[in-house]
A and B are shown apart, each in its own frame.
Chain A
Amino acid sequence: MPATLCIDELSVSFAHRTGTVEAVDGVSLRIGRAECVGVVGESGSGKTQLFLAVMGLAGNARVRGSVRFEGKELLGATAPAINRVRGSKLTMIFQDPMTSLTPHLRIGTQLAEVLVCHSGLSWAEARDVAGRMLERVRIPEPQRRLGQYPHELSGGMRQRVMLAMSLLCGPALVIADEPTTALDVTIQAQIIELLRAMRGEAGTALALISHDLAVVAGLADRILVMYAGRIVENAVAAELFRQPRHPYTAELLKCVPSLSGPRLARLPTLAGQPPQPGDALQACPFAPRCPRAADRCRTERPLLTGASTSQVACHFPLS
């Protein structure tokens, strides 16, 4: 079964006043049909840039490598070819629902135009489908909402609209970039519920990007951990939580407060700072903060090795 998304040695770099910044540094990954993959990392780890490059939204950045979606190469494809796939079979939900919808267009228009553009429906037909999709994402009074403007909806509702927009054409892969970060905790739970329900239908794969392991824990089959633009660990979710192999993952897990664990005097944090853009990275990027770092870590870059569902990029992985 060919993978839905197949990324090989993808690099995204920005030209900066002081040099080149590698936001994404040689990333390879696969997402299979109907698979839910969580991508976690701190800000600056490159997790968002990675998927923006997949969607062709990397702006001025230089993108190298290969991105194959359902067998077809996306990087370097013509604009019409990319546009056929974007928004219909390969969709993305963004972090901030408050600014991600066009303020002067009605909800109905913004939903229907996807269908009119990709599925050749008429505007009337498209609005019908849009209304039904709003029901599916559990927005009350969908017909009324179709005629409203984004500023008349709450943040949670706007995010549901974004989700609806991404599902309209039955996508093979939905990329959700921090879909709950900007929302209240109670709303977060609702959105995650929705994502779970949506997974069950239609065999849609989901790439869930988050800095919050708790969000990813409930949904992901497999988790990718990113640091400084590289993947440092790739494991089945249950395995990752039970036995992390990369020191960074282990530290991350320690930072998640647990209701069942011992009461702690203070929350553990990770010492140090993530690498700044432009820092030279010949070796392991985590070495400065790693409690297990040795000389080899500071001179030789660890490559991602292991079986397809259990990979780690470390010279001295935990076991």
Chain B
Amino acid sequence: MTRYFFTRLAGAIPTLLIIVTLSFFLMRAAPGGPFDQEQTLPPEIVANLESAYGLDQPVWVQYGRYLKALLHGDFGPSFKYKDFTVTELIGQGFPITLQLGLMAMALALLAGVPLGTFAALHHNSAADYATMSLAVVGIAIPAFVVLPFLGLLFGVYLHWLPVAGWEPGSLRQLALPVLALALPPLAYIARLTRGSMLEVLRSHYIRTAFAKGLPLRTVIVRHALRPALTPVASYLVPAVAAILTGSLVVESIAGLPGIGRYLVQGAVNRDYTLVLGMVIIYSTLLIGMGLIVDLLYAWLDPRVRLAE
């Protein structure tokens, strides 16, 4: 098992490196520079600025220095937010985004899987149709519509939950954003689980489990759940990608100081280092998730483990 993990890890590092390299050169290759959008500055000042930020060096030198700094965890200075380094900005915002994302992912799994199982067990009943109808709604409507609607309902009209704003450690603040963010993956996971569970329940080994006189709960949890979760495991990486994408709007609407806003702002302001840093963070998260999913496959199906 450990060998399996390290092989996968070894494969992931070059991928990350390629992403960093490609991103770096793509951005340097772009026409214009980070200072173009400011009010027109006299060329000498631009030259000074460029020199100060090391932009007058040949590209290869810049690349090398960037990589070296990366290894020290230094993403370089932000071109737009002059007083901060990218590392500082990310450091401030990342924990919030991480918390938001993790809670959303957890909600999606912890609610989606039981919901799908329930629907499968009550196949073709009214409960099944109702659940699957709700699932379609959840999948179709994006977070940036759901969150404001929820905010209107629970915040403005019912006054149950705060609509926006952020206080460290406050869970009530996160309730609506997490819910809105989790809803599409939750609905998708419910649908996946239902389909998969229906198939697994037709298997011969489930018939054996029932024939042994095991109670329904045991049959589902011990015998049916793990095989049924394989498609859900495959969906985890796209789910994380969807949550990351969703967090961009959710943070913006709910006024949460996460790193999502830096991605968009960085793009608009042509803040190279910031965007580069963000891409690296997000790619690492996705690749990391991929590794976790690989491990998960091995746990879900022992035949994968022993095949390595």
User: Could you tell me which A residues sit within 8 Å of B by CB distance?
Assistant: 55-57, 79-80, 82-88, 91-92, 94, 96, 99-105, 113-114, 117-118, 149, 151-152, 162, 165
The answer to whether B204 and A105 have CB atoms under 8 Å apart is no
A84, A105, A114, A152: residue with the most chain B Cβ atoms closer than 10 Å:
A105
Q: Which residues of B contact A88 (CB under 8 A)?
A: 213
The answer to whether B204 and A83 have CB atoms under 8 Å apart is no
Minimal beta-carbon separation of A75 from chain B (angstroms): 16
Please give 20 more A-B residue pairs, beta carbons under 8 A apart, in addition to A55-B211, A165-B212: A79-B216, A83-B215, A86-B210, A86-B212, A86-B213, A87-B211, A92-B211, A94-B204, A94-B208, A94-B211, A99-B203, A100-B207, A100-B208, A102-B205, A103-B301, A104-B300, A113-B214, A117-B214, A117-B218, A149-B302
A-B contact pairs, 18 of them (CB 8 A): A55-B211, A57-B211, A92-B211, A94-B208, A99-B204, A100-B207, A101-B205, A102-B205, A102-B209, A102-B223, A104-B226, A104-B227, A113-B222, A117-B213, A117-B214, A118-B213, A149-B306, A151-B303
The answer to whether B214 and A105 have CB atoms under 8 Å apart is no
Closest to A99 in B: B204
Chain B interface, DSSP helix/strand/loop, else mixed = helix
B207, B218, B300, B306: residue with the most chain A Cβ atoms closer than 10 Å:
B207
Q: Which residues of B contact A165 (CB under 8 A)?
A: 212
Q: How far is the CA of A117 from the CA of B211 in the complex (A)?
A: 13
Q: Which residues of B contact A92 (CB under 8 A)?
A: 211
Minimal beta-carbon separation of B32 from chain A (angstroms): 56
Q: Which residues of A contact B215 (CB under 8 A)?
A: 79-80, 83, 117
* B188-209 interface code vs A (CB 8 A; 1 in, 0 out): 0000000000000001110111
Q: How far is the CA of A57 from the CA of B214 in the complex (A)?
A: 13
Q: How far is the CA of A91 from the CA of B208 in the complex (A)?
A: 10
Closest to A95 in B: B204
The answer to whether B211 and A91 have CB atoms under 8 Å apart is yes
Q: Which residues of A contact B303 (CB under 8 A)?
A: 103, 149, 151
The answer to whether B301 and A83 have CB atoms under 8 Å apart is no
Contact of A103 among B207, B210, B227 (CB under 8 A): B227
10 tightest CB-CB pairs across the interface, nearest first? Answer: A87-B213, A87-B212, A86-B213, A99-B204, A83-B213, A102-B205, A100-B204, A100-B208, A92-B211, A102-B223
User: Could you tell me which B residues sit within 8 Å of A by CB distance?
Assistant: 203-205, 207-216, 218, 222-223, 226-227, 300-303, 306
Using A85-B213, A113-B218 as known contacts, say yes or no to A101 and B208 having CB atoms under 8 A apart.
yes
Q: Which residues of B contact A151 (CB under 8 A)?
A: 302-303
The answer to whether A105 and B207 have CB atoms under 8 Å apart is no
Q: Which residues of B contact A80 (CB under 8 A)?
A: 215
Minimal beta-carbon separation of B212 from chain A (angstroms): 4
Q: How far is the CA of A149 from the CA of B306 in the complex (A)?
A: 10
Q: How far is the CA of A151 from the CA of B205 in the complex (A)?
A: 13
Q: Which residues of A contact B300 (CB under 8 A)?
A: 104
Q: Which residues of B contact A103 (CB under 8 A)?
A: 205, 227, 301-303
The answer to whether B213 and A84 have CB atoms under 8 Å apart is yes
Closest to B305 in A: A149
Q: Which residues of A contact B205 (CB under 8 A)?
A: 99-103
Contact of B214 among A87, A100, A104 (CB under 8 A): A87
Minimal beta-carbon separation of A109 from chain B (angstroms): 8
The answer to whether A113 and B212 have CB atoms under 8 Å apart is yes
Q: How far is the CA of A275 from the CA of B159 in the complex (A)?
A: 69
Using A86-B211, A117-B212 as known contacts, say yes or no to A105 and B203 having CB atoms under 8 A apart.
no
Q: How far is the CA of A104 from the CA of B205 in the complex (A)?
A: 11
Using A103-B303, A165-B212 as known contacts, say yes or no to A57 and B218 having CB atoms under 8 A apart.
no
Minimal beta-carbon separation of A319 from chain B (angstroms): 41
Q: How far is the CA of A151 from the CA of B227 in the complex (A)?
A: 15
The answer to whether B207 and A94 have CB atoms under 8 Å apart is yes
Closest to B212 in A: A87
Q: Which residues of B contact A87 (CB under 8 A)?
A: 211-214
The answer to whether B208 and A83 have CB atoms under 8 Å apart is no
Closest to B216 in A: A79
Q: Which residues of B contact A85 (CB under 8 A)?
A: 213
Minimal beta-carbon separation of A112 from chain B (angstroms): 11
B205, B207, B212: residue with the most chain A Cβ atoms closer than 10 Å:
B212
Minimal beta-carbon separation of A176 from chain B (angstroms): 12
Q: How far is the CA of A105 from the CA of B302 in the complex (A)?
A: 8
